[in-house]
Structure 1
Amino acid sequence: MEPSAVLSAWSAGVAAGTALVTRWGIVGPGFTWMGLGVVLLLAVPAALAGGGVVGWVGCGLTVAALAASRVRLLAAGFAAAAAITLVLAGTGEGYPVLVVTGAIALGGITSEMLLGHWYLVDPRLPRSALRTLCLVGIAGSVIDPAAALLHGALPPASGEVIVPIGWAVLAITSVLLMAAVWAALGERGYPAVMAATGLSYLAVLTGIGAVVLARVLVFGESLG
C-alpha cells in the first residue's frame, strides 16, 4: 500500500469539499485559502511519495484555485478540477473505487471540521452546509468499509486479528462520531457548533485510521 494513494484521496476529498463551500458562497475567500492550504499539505507529500506527474498537476490546480480565490466560481472550478486530478493520481495502484470512497469519507469529515471553525467565528452562518458535509462524511464512512470488503479486505495470512478488529472499531466509531455531529447540529446555540466541531476532530482521527487499515487488509499487508 503506497501512502500516496491515501494522501491523494484525502486531499481530493478536501479539495472537493472546499469547492462546494466556495461555490455555495456562504463564506469569504479566507475559508477557500484555509481549505486549499490543507489540500496542499496533503497533496504535495502525496506527489513526492509517488503521485507522479498527475499528482503535481493536482497541486498546480490547487495553486490556481488559491490565486483565483476572490473570484468565487473560478476558484470553485479550479478546486473541483484539482479534486478530480488528485483522485486520478491516487489510482496508480489500481482500486479506483477505494480512492473515491476514501475521498468521500475523509473529505466529508475534514471539510465539516474545517467549516465548523468558520461557524465558531461567525455563528450567524446557516448550518445547512455543515449538515450537508456531515451527511457526506457519514455516507463515506459507511461506503468505504463496504467497498473495502468487496475488494477483499481480509486478515493477513499470518492470522493476526488485531488489524481487522482495530479496523472495525475505528470504522464504527467514525460513523458514531459523525452521527453525534449531526445530533449536535440539531441543538440551538453556539455550544452546539463547538461540540460538533470537537467531535469532527475525533472523527478525522478515527476516519484516517479506518481508511488506512482498510487498505492494509485489502493489500494483504501486515503491520507486524
Structure 2
Amino acid sequence: MGPGFHRVVAGSAALIGAGALAFDSGSGAVVGLVLLGASLFAINRPVVLAATFAVAAVGFFVAALSAGAGWPTLTGAVTLGAVSNEMLLGHWYLVDPRLPRWALKSLDGAALVGLIADFGILAGRGALTWGTDAFVVGWAFVALSILSALLITAVWFALREPGYNGVMSATGLSYLAIITVLGTTISGRSLTVVEGSTLLSG
C-alpha cells in the first residue's frame, strides 16, 4: 500500500481516537494520538510505520480497557477496519479486475462477522433497551445494522460476478457500507450502558 493509504488509516484512527480522548479515556488515547501523528513522518519507512501503528493500537486498547470497553473496541475495529480496507483495496482491482479476489472476500467475511459480534456485544450492554429520550437513535442503530449487513452481503455476491462490473459494484457498495457501519458504530455505542448511564442520558 502507498502513502495515501497510510494517511487515510492514520487520519481515520486519529478521528475516532480524538473522540475517545474527548470522553476522558486517559493517557492511552494520548499516546495513541501522538504516535499516529508521528507516523506521518515515517510513511516511507515501513518497519517504523508498522511499529508506530502497533504501539498506537495498544495505547487505544489500554484506554478502552480502562473504560470497560475492551470487547466493543475489538469488534468495532474489526468491522470498520475490514470494510474500510475492502473499499481501499477494491480500487486496485478496478485497475486490474483479473486479480484473485480472495483478499476482498476475506475482508468482506471479516466485516460481516465483526458486525454481528459488535451488534451482539452492544445489545448485551443495553443498546436495545433505550428509553424515550433515545428513541430515534435506537431505531437508527437497528436500521443501520440491518442495512450494513445487507450491503456487506451484497458485496460478497458482487464479487462472484466475473469481470470489471463485479469489482466496480463491490467497491461502490463498500463505500456505502463504510457510511452505514460508521453510523452503526457511533449510534450503538451512544446507547450502551457504562457505569449506570449512557452517553445520551449523561
TM-score, L = length of structure 1: 0.73
C-alpha change, 1:45 and 1:213, in structure 2 (3 Å) is closer
Kindly provide the amino acid, as one letter, of the partner of residue 101 in structure 1: T
Moved over 6 A (4+): none
Matched, 1:96 2:70: yes
Q: Secondary structure at the match of 2:85?
A: helix
Partner of 1:181: 155
Partner of 1:36: 10
Contact 1:31 1:115 (C-alpha < 8 Å) held by counterparts: no
Once the two structures are TM-superposed, the CA of residue 222 in structure 1 deviates from its matched residue by 4.9
Cα separation, 1, equivalents of 2:25 and 2:95: 36
Greater mean deviation of Cα atoms: 146-155 or 39-48: 39-48
Q: 83, 90, 105: which one pairs with 1:109?
A: 83
Kindly provide the amino acid, as one letter, of the partner of residue 178 in structure 2: V
Structure 2: gaps of 5 or more residues: none
C-alpha change, 1:64 and 1:133, in structure 2 (3 Å) is farther
Cα separation, 1, equivalents of 2:98 and 2:10: 24
Identity percentage of aligned residues: 39
Greater mean deviation of Cα atoms: 144-153 or 48-57: 48-57
Cα separation, 2, equivalents of 1:172 and 1:48: 29
Q: 84, 91, 115: which one pairs with 1:141?
A: 115
Q: Which deviations, in whole Å up to 9, do the C-alpha atoms of 1:86-123 show, x marking residues without a partner?
A: 22234453222112212222222222222223433454
Q: How many residues align?
A: 197
Partner of 2:179: 205
Cα separation, 2, equivalents of 1:210 and 1:82: 24
Kindly provide the amino acid, as one letter, of the partner of residue 102 in structure 2: S
Once the two structures are TM-superposed, the CA of residue 193 in structure 1 deviates from its matched residue by 1.9
Once the two structures are TM-superposed, the CA of residue 59 in structure 1 deviates from its matched residue by 2.1
Q: Secondary structure at the match of 1:134?
A: helix
Q: Which deviations, in whole Å up to 9, do the C-alpha atoms of 1:160-201 show, x marking residues without a partner?
A: 754433322211111111111111122222222221121112
Partner of 1:54: 28
Structure 1: gaps of 5 or more residues: 1-26
C-alpha change, 1:124 and 1:36, in structure 2 (3 Å) is farther
Kindly provide the amino acid, as one letter, of the partner of residue 108 in structure 2: C
TM-score, L = length of structure 2: 0.79
Greater mean deviation of Cα atoms: 154-163 or 48-57: 154-163
Report 1 or 2 for greater relative contact order, CA contacts < 8 Å, sequence distance ≥ 6.
1
The aligned runs of 1:123-202 (5 Å cut-off) are 123=97, 125-158=99-132, 161-202=135-176
Q: Secondary structure at the match of 2:126?
A: coil
Once the two structures are TM-superposed, the CA of residue 142 in structure 1 deviates from its matched residue by 0.4
Kindly provide the amino acid, as one letter, of the partner of residue 24 in structure 2: G
Cα separation, 2, equivalents of 1:33 and 1:74: 15
Quote the RMSD (CA, aligned, Å): 2.8
Greater mean deviation of Cα atoms: 117-126 or 78-87: 117-126
Cα separation, 1, equivalents of 2:133 and 2:35: 44
Cα separation, 1, equivalents of 2:27 and 2:181: 28
Partner of 1:87: 61
